[in-house]
Amino acid sequence: MALNEFSVIDEFFKLDAAYGHPPVIGIGDDCAVLDVPADRQLAVSTDTLVEGVHFLQDSDPELLGHKVLAVNLSDLAAMGASPTWVSLAVTLPRVDRAWLAAFTKGFFSLASRYSLQLIGGDTTRGPLSVTVNIMGLLPKNQRLTRSGAREGDDIYVSGSFGNAGLGLIKAKLPEADISDIDVAAYLRPEPCVELGEALLSVATSCIDISDGLSADLNHILLASDVGARVDHSAVPLTQSVSDHVQQVGDIFWPYSTGDDYQLCFTVPSGIDLSVIEKKTSAKITKIGVIEKGCELRVVQDNGERHVLNKGYEHFS
């Protein structure tokens, strides 16, 4: 975006906030330069949101600014990393000052919550899409991964499931309202950053739920070379999702809807998580145990068993 590119960067993206870990060199040069403390390691992740694919046409820009950062923070949370730096590539069909002001409001208000510094990015013209590259710090040689689950571990999840999937349906309705918990779960997800940090020294594996509980728990099972038994009645659902499940007549619906950005993690059997739950004010629920094998087996109260080994894939 030759015309206006630099004024847009200066006006909307170049903040003087210097909190957290200020970069050695931030926005304005060809690269940012960062100092990683000697006792830390860097966790890095990127996620893109494309209009019409990951968010609805004409989405509220403030909510979009929040969400694109939230989904990236969720990846750091899944590794137990503390958010530190972020870069932001935006592709815009046109320079729309009101849109940019709202977008950066959503983005920076979430960033400031974690003292997250915007250290660079790219601004180009084209179909609307936003890419965030996020960086967090971990204590040296300590991290949560997908590969550490062991037979006998307890399986936990945060929050509840299916809300964002239901929110997507509701968000398309003319009367959609952000004060509805499902609409909010879809349009303004809250990443479990504090929970991820607190689990760093406790959990044996962890993943954030972006593609659905069944797909993402299967990632842990595959990476850890184990199976799982999930007690269906233990999977936390809000009344709204339970009602929707009744309506569609598919009890596995909340296992396959994405965008919930909760954490699913394993801990050695019997570990008490009430202190972490209190400290992080996260709602966490034990839903099952890690077993031998490679399957995700869901058991209903009546003893019926189902194997869930499928999830949502972009190119399938």
Q: In the bound complex, which residue of the shown chain has the CB atom lying closest to Mg ion?
A: 122
Nearest approach in angstroms of CB 35 to ligand ADP is: 17
Q: Which is nearer to ligand ADP, 80 or 83 (CB)?
A: 83
Window 114 to 173, contacts with ligand ADP (CB under 6 A): 118, 120-123
Options 2, 3, 16, 30; binder of ligand ADP; rule CB under 6 A: 30
Number of shown-chain residues binding Mg ion (CB under 5 A): 1
Min dist CB 107 to ligand ADP, Å, is 9
Q: Are 111 and 191 in contact (CB under 8 A)?
A: no
Rounded distance between C-alpha atoms, residue 227 and residue 292, angstroms: 5
Out of 5, 11, 51, 122, name the contact with Mg ion by CB under 5 A: 122
Decide if residue 13 touches ligand ADP (CB under 6 A).
Answer: yes
Give the nearest distance from C-beta 28 to ligand ADP in angstroms.
5
Query: CB under 6 A: which stretch of 24-32, 41-49, 196-204, 208-216 binds ligand ADP?
Result: 24-32
Q: Per CB under 5 A, does 5 bind Mg ion?
A: no
Q: Which is nearer to Mg ion, 121 or 227 (CB)?
A: 121
As measured in angstroms, the least distance from the Cβ of 120 to Mg ion is 9
In angstroms, the CA 162 to CA 180 distance is 14
The one-letter code for the residue type at 115 is: S
Contacts with ligand ADP by CB under 6 A lie at 9, 13, 27-30, 88, 90, 118, 120-123
Contacts with Mg ion by CB under 5 A lie at 122
